[in-house]
Amino acid sequence: MGRYQRIGITVKSAFDRKDEAVARVVQILKKEKCSLFVDAQRLKELGCTRGCAPIDGKQKLDLLVVIGGDGTVLRAIRELKNFSTPILSVNRGTVGFLAEIELKEAAAVLPELLRGQGIVDERSLLRVEAVRRRKTIFTGLALNEAVIAQGTIARLIDLKTTINGEDLTTYRADGLIIATPTGSTAYSLAAGGPIVHPAFGPAMILTPVNPYSFSQKPIVLRGDSNVAVTVHMKVRKFTDIEVSLTLDGQVYMPLEEGDLIRITIADKTMKFLRRRHDTFLSTLRKKLKWGER
């Protein structure tokens, strides 16, 4: 009998040979005598999951297996009711920085992890709050990043940024990314931000998107920092600029002139089941194709 017995399964909504991928994982889990609970919305049509109880948010799951790419993991986290449940990601996407195992190695690695031969890796989350005219209008969590950005071509916005109440700068840019170490390999990296090893611990990486000033560079802040960003979009002649707040590329909210966004490290953490040896550097080499000529 394994350490992880009550297993939830969710999957990317659509991809090639989805039924085959799910069936391979289900077969392994059943062989390990696990009790299976499935994402009924995305798995109800598959024969291999017939007879499995649906995930209703009330069960105490030992583990949530996510079959897909990083986007599927982020969606699963957004829907997660209990943050004490660790996630194991089986990659069926492309880049897959959050994935621990590839589908082709599931038969060899998954049983070992279920039997307790892995470790639980805790990752920090951002707590993001939007305030409009002194009233909180939105609160959310992000594993990768919060992005404040304009959606109009070639129209800069001003983002007045303070750290722990002290002025940092006013970014004149297309936007600003506030990322965790986990998110340092996502949008922040594409915008020129640094890669930060997840074992670095709680931290926030501020990366401006196409800043007007060459002196405004990415900065890494301590995890106990309080970041506040005030949005200014009508200080110049254009008044039709659209600005939004986006969490992990999935939660979207339009912003108005003067809105205040507050970002801190959340008191909750996200847990991932991983192999005992550190796979982050090998993931960088593989996914970013480092060392290839």
pLDDT digits (tens, 9 = 90+) for 196-228: 999 898 999 999 999 999 999 999 999 999 999
Q: Where are the domains of the chain?
A: 6-116, 125-268
- What contacts 61, CB < 8 A, 6 or more positions away? 6, 7, 8, 37, 55, 82, 85
CATH 3.40.50.2300 fits 125-268, yes or no: no
The residue to which tokens 């106990």 are assigned:
224
The arithmetic mean of pLDDT across residues 254-268, rounded, is 96
pTM (two decimals)? 0.92
Residue among 39, 62, 70, 121 flagged as catalytic: 70
Using alpha carbons, select from 153, 154, 204 the residue that is nearest to residue 179. Answer: 204
pLDDT number for residue 93:
62
pLDDT digits (tens, 9 = 90+) for 118-153: 999 999 999 999 999 999 999 999 999 999 999 876
The arithmetic mean of pLDDT across residues 173-200, rounded, is 96
- Is 70 an active-site residue? yes
Residue pair 271/87 in contact (Cβ under 8 Å)? The answer is yes
Read off the pLDDT band of 281 (50, 70, 90).
confident
pLDDT digits (tens, 9 = 90+) for 67-86: 998 999 999 999 888 889 99
| Nearest-angstrom CA–CA distance, 89 and 275 | 12
Residue pair 130/245 in contact (Cβ under 8 Å)? The answer is yes
**CATH code for residues 6-116:** 3.40.50.10330
